[in-house]
Structure 1
């Protein structure tokens, strides 16, 4: 019989590379031009603002991950804190969002592929499908192997990004940074909302916590360390893009006169002795493939965790005895991934997934507050978030503030995902679970205090 336990095979370096690999993707190679269109050169500040808003959720997740080093990440923490209804909504939403982001990465690399490969637009879909199938097979083959491949790929991409920024420092036009804030403070905030998804990968490793060695120390170090490094990388690379590329190319160089989908290649012709476009395109393809791999590895753990809690069918919790991977959960995630690549306009709908990510990151802060206030004996994290509860309250308020900048359609998309989670819980999960979460303990304690108060005598 297949087992139910995963192997702790990922060390600190592999864990950090998975986290960084999930962030080195669309955030660098696709989204900067969209952010530039909304904020001008101040898009650099938008990335910093997005990082500041993500940080409370990263600290909250780092604490909860050391208390519950199991597969599931976002789903697990919200479920245990706020109960199975909110857990189902968060689990399905996070799974959907990550899978969508992975398919977005694989389709997005097609724009870079067109820069040097003589293929048709239709063939790009087949290339993305082939890469998707390869990623699925790699994830089924073993987490350790997948993590090792991820570490190698991300390391090579980091070298390429370093070379890009160093070259850009010599040839960039500093005049392109003036004026710096072209759309006012509102433009910076709006751009931050759209590039927020760039940092979402920092907490993806929480969903594979069950496969990390020494999770009490490696998980917080990997989350905080990878976020600090990536913030610096984002600032350096975005500054290089602004200094190299013609503003009109960034704003109107994409399909149908929209924002460019290849911002790192725009203006890169002068780099690397004239081979800049080719080199950057290759780096982009490798990085976006890496992002797709990290996304499948992380997102496939959500159905696994939900199945263990009887919120999804039991077949999804099967662990392959020989490969020690959640085979069925990976296959389900992979099937959805390939379907999205083949039939859905991923680039547009990825914005809908981004809105839900902001919502979930906000709720994660509420989950930590619930655990702390419930004071449950079983909650014993090895790492505690500094600045509690002010950091968490800031993360909640700032996240909701960014969500309001996304526009009507993405907000409606987040609402639709929420409604879908409610339906799945009511039709399947409700009759199979009776958990209440940490919030239930708080409510029960308050009820008992009220019951213990002696009645007031009246005349």
Structure 2
């Protein structure tokens, strides 16, 4: 069975896929819960999240250049730390990101047809699963369009807010409601919006010249995203203030409305739905590739390792993930899943940083301080998340470890060669 993917993506396509994953529904939805946690320290939380994300991105880029295969940290953990750690990273990624997929689908439904969000959510999952099935280059093309629309809208929000008479720079001042615990929790929640650069690494088997493409694409995509997030956060805070932002259901739309541009609010709401579609597209793409890698090693049913002979995509993995996400989107309300997903993603990157620590200088190891800060930062942000997210996330990791132990007992070590 031919289960290898074709290298079709260049630097620009990889950057766009990363931007499509990061600049999505997170910036439209994550600001209020982060503001409730950090108060006037929201921007500090954004800075902490960016530092951890930079360390994670650097570690991931060096590892992806060394191991240009589909699967991301599943592959890195397996090769650098051992089979169990690679498996645990893949398990955390698939479970956490499948939840994120459903949450993004429900975000689309909420913005497009609030009375029937589940119907729209399922339709969105089926549509984008079909796009991914048709080939990764078509996915990259659609992502490019979505990124252009969202960036245009976010630019309009920033300009409308910062040039408004309602803009109050003193809203950026730190007050007594700021505390370290709240800042860390906000950083953990905001990290949800940064985590999309993993999509570039999980496409390692489909980019041309991965040793050059991946290390360039990941930091560029992250840097662009940070600049955009910082500008949007400053613009919204100066207009709404932290108190109003805490309770906002559509913060960017509320901000342009208060800034004196109510006609822009419907466009912002439309862009939010489009952004969620972009995130959902990239999430399904990334989860299916990690599923493919784990199926190749028989940690998941081996039938999921099949690659379509014409479209050259892991079609069974994509259809399976699409079906599971559609089921979740049809039956559950997953708006509270951001914390759960963040816990899984932070566990995933903790393993990535530990893997990067083991690289030698000849293998392109980053300065040791980078994976060290990344690892400690991931652990700190994960434990600072709401208690319910920590408990449920830890429970899922324990279940994954138990399944791994059961498989080893029944089938022995994974096959090699």
Instruction: Work out whether 1:297 is the aligned partner of 2:292.
Output: no
User: In the alignment, which of 396, 399, 407 is matched to residue 375 of structure 2?
Assistant: 396
User: In the alignment, which of 115, 121, 131 is matched to residue 128 of structure 1?
Assistant: 121
Q: CA offset at residue 126 of structure 1?
A: 0.4
2:152 corresponds in structure 1 to 159
User: In the alignment, which of 232, 239, 254 is matched to residue 234 of structure 2?
Assistant: 239
**Paired positions, count:** 414
Q: CA offset at residue 154 of structure 1?
A: 0.7
Q: CA offset at residue 270 of structure 1?
A: 5.2
Q: CA offset at residue 326 of structure 1?
A: 0.4
SS in 2 for 1:245: helix
Cα distance 1:166–1:385, how it changes in 2: closer, same or farther (>3 A)?
farther
CA distance in 2 between counterparts of 1:433 and 1:330 reads 28
Cα distance 1:424–1:349, how it changes in 2: closer, same or farther (>3 A)?
same
1:282 corresponds in structure 2 to 270
Contact 1:246 1:267 in 2 (8 A): no
2:197 corresponds in structure 1 to 202
Contact 2:59 2:366 in 1 (8 A): no
Q: CA offset at residue 179 of structure 1?
A: 4.4
User: In the alignment, which of 210, 215, 219 is matched to residue 210 of structure 2?
Assistant: 215
Q: CA offset at residue 334 of structure 1?
A: 0.6
Contact 2:18 2:200 in 1 (8 A): yes
CA distance in 1 between counterparts of 2:145 and 2:336 reads 31
Cα distance 1:147–1:272, how it changes in 2: closer, same or farther (>3 A)?
farther
2:5 corresponds in structure 1 to 6
Cα distance 1:110–1:242, how it changes in 2: closer, same or farther (>3 A)?
farther
Superposed CA deviations along residues 310-341 of structure 1, whole A, max 9, x for unmatched, are: 22222111000011110000011111111121
Alignment of 1:313-392 (within 5 A): 313-372=301-360, 381=363, 384-387=364-367, 389-392=368-371
CA distance in 2 between counterparts of 1:89 and 1:195 reads 23
Higher radius of gyration, 1 or 2: 1
Contact 1:355 1:414 in 2 (8 A): yes
CA distance in 1 between counterparts of 2:387 and 2:179 reads 21
CA distance in 1 between counterparts of 2:15 and 2:236 reads 25
Superposed CA deviations along residues 175-215 of structure 1, whole A, max 9, x for unmatched, are: 43244563233322221122112111122211111111121
RMSD: 2.2
TM-score using structure 1 length:
0.85
Q: CA offset at residue 407 of structure 1?
A: 3.4
Superposed CA deviations along residues 62-116 of structure 1, whole A, max 9, x for unmatched, are: 1111111110012111111222222222112101112211221121234433xxx
SS in 1 for 2:328: helix
1:442 corresponds in structure 2 to none
The 10-residue stretch of structure 1 (169-178 or 320-329) with the greater mean CA deviation from structure 2: 169-178
User: In the alignment, which of 397, 400, 407 is matched to residue 421 of structure 1?
Assistant: 400
Q: CA offset at residue 16 of structure 1?
A: 0.7
The 10-residue stretch of structure 1 (363-372 or 283-292) with the greater mean CA deviation from structure 2: 363-372
SS in 2 for 1:310: coil
User: In the alignment, which of 171, 179, 185 is matched to residue 180 of structure 2?
Assistant: 185
Contact 1:310 1:432 in 2 (8 A): no
CA distance in 1 between counterparts of 2:87 and 2:409 reads 10
4+ residue runs over 4 A deviation: 270-273, 429-433
Q: CA offset at residue 246 of structure 1?
A: 5.5
Superposed CA deviations along residues 136-177 of structure 1, whole A, max 9, x for unmatched, are: 000001111111111121122112211221221101232432
The 10-residue stretch of structure 1 (416-425 or 219-228) with the greater mean CA deviation from structure 2: 416-425
Give unmatched runs, 5+ long, in structure 1.
114-118, 253-259, 438-459
SS in 1 for 2:64: helix
1:61 corresponds in structure 2 to 60
CA distance in 2 between counterparts of 1:181 and 1:222 reads 40
1:141 corresponds in structure 2 to 134
